[in-house]
A and B are shown apart, each in its own frame.
Chain A
Amino acid sequence: MKAVLKLVLTYFTGTRLLTVITILGALGVLGGSALFLYLPPLLGSQGGPSRFSLAVETLVMLTPIAGVIGVVFGASLLPTLFARLAASHYLYVLPYGRIKILASVFVTLTLVALVAAGTTTVYYLRTPMQLDVVFERAFVVSLLTCNLLYVVFWLTGRSSSAIGVLVGSIVMIATLVLPLRFIALPSRSLAGPWAASFLIWGVLAAAFLLAPRRKGAVGKIRQAIAARLTGAAYTGGEEVDFLVGTGRPWALALGQVVPILMAAYFLSGFEVMAPSAPSPWLFFMTILSILAGAIASMAATRSRRLWLRAPWTRRELFRRVENALWRHNSFALGVLLVMFVVLGSHAYLPTNVLVFGMGLLMLGIALSTYLGLMITAPVGWLDAALAIAAMLLLMIVATYVSRPVMPATAIIALETGLAALALVFRSIAQRRWTHLDWMRCRADGDVRAAA
């Protein structure tokens, strides 16, 4: 029993960064929910003017979600720790090792799903929907998506490739989307998600408990899948692209298209959205554009090999990597923009929303790329704070953009501000790259967690 508890605790607090994320997540959930409950009616309820500015409203509404994300990612050590233990001799040597480890995973998943479900229920407190139904549905769906999320993390292992991160992020998006879908339509049977959950769990647990005890077996399966997903083959193109991981722009584009399509499918029947809520499209797309940052964040570490093989100075290296990243991103950006226009007009979004939204997407990619490039050493507090602040800013501006009554000048000013911020990040990144010390870059959980 104490092993299970110790493991669960370690999943959430194993590294300093994760401890902070977990605590912030918990605070966000609790604080945000409290604010939600006790402040005058905000979004999602009777509509009508509220006392607070839009920014504050958005923050309050988003905080519990951010809190849930925090708690989910706060346990992101789970797949790593689990994978390491599962592939080690410890699994067989520790008394009742398998059972206890499996139990700890189950406890953690349930905990996270409970938090997600509870938070979702809070959003529906002032609506006429039945709360226990909401809770139950939210719990089931959260459990399912958490299962998927962590299983994907486990399979792709220490993914130092863009695709690994992408796959994980796709599932993360699903975590946000699915509960809403199933909750909004109470008539939809829960049998599906329950069955899926149990199936995944059953397979996982059986494989884990009964696996042939060749410690290579699990690792090999994992590697095979990861290799297939990431494609270890060098398909040609510039060396920069290969080494930095930007050789497959279509993969990034695909990684954006798929969740958007998923969201489109799930949300198409979703009626319970207050008029002043930020357009979900913009919301998701902004988040997706941040994925670009994930790839950029690996650039510093992976460029070491470039440095060894090419005659460039660090400054030149930065320029080339930056160019490679933009080449890579512009492809995905193009796809995003097209989708945005297509879906936007289908959803009858006003033109100015479309225009400003496109600007926002570009800014999102720019900001995240340069934030990623700024990571040339283990992520410190400043970097993490900057990243979170930038993300929040983006989301707030996204909210502003979708409001029907916002003056265009204000939006232009905001987006210009964001552009300036991107340039600031660029110059910081450039400066850091001229002093790049590869001993301090490490491609591991810290980097991934920050991204």
Chain B
Amino acid sequence: MFILKPHSGVPIYRQLSEQIRRMAASGQLPPGTELPSIRALALEHAINPMTVSKVYSLLETEGVLERHRGMPMTVAKPARTQSPPAKRVAHLEPQIEQLVLAARQLELGEDEVVEALRNAWEVKDERPVHRRTRAR
């Protein structure tokens, strides 16, 4: 279900919580989906059960997950008001940082990167892209 890399610089709890948040926000984990038990998830990835417990508790307070007594944790229904785009964009920060870093190393300019981004977006997306005219 999740991809965890224990040897990256990012702590495991953060990787896991980020993934769950993202998957919940994007609908990959629809509301009501049962999450594996702490023990099962810890065993599967050979990680500390306390880490999993920490993540589950954290996400519960954030409202992403719901706890039911005696039953597995489930994904909560999304809040009435969806979080503002700025907040959701914050989830993308790690990837954006990586992209910028790589681009800089390749000595690419901002424009080339944006172009590439746009192309990738078109391919991924089924809906037509709202083109923004931009002064060059």
Instruction: Decide if A and B touch, CB cutoff 8 A.
Output: no
Query: Hey, which bits of chain B sit against chain A, CB under 8 A?
Result: none
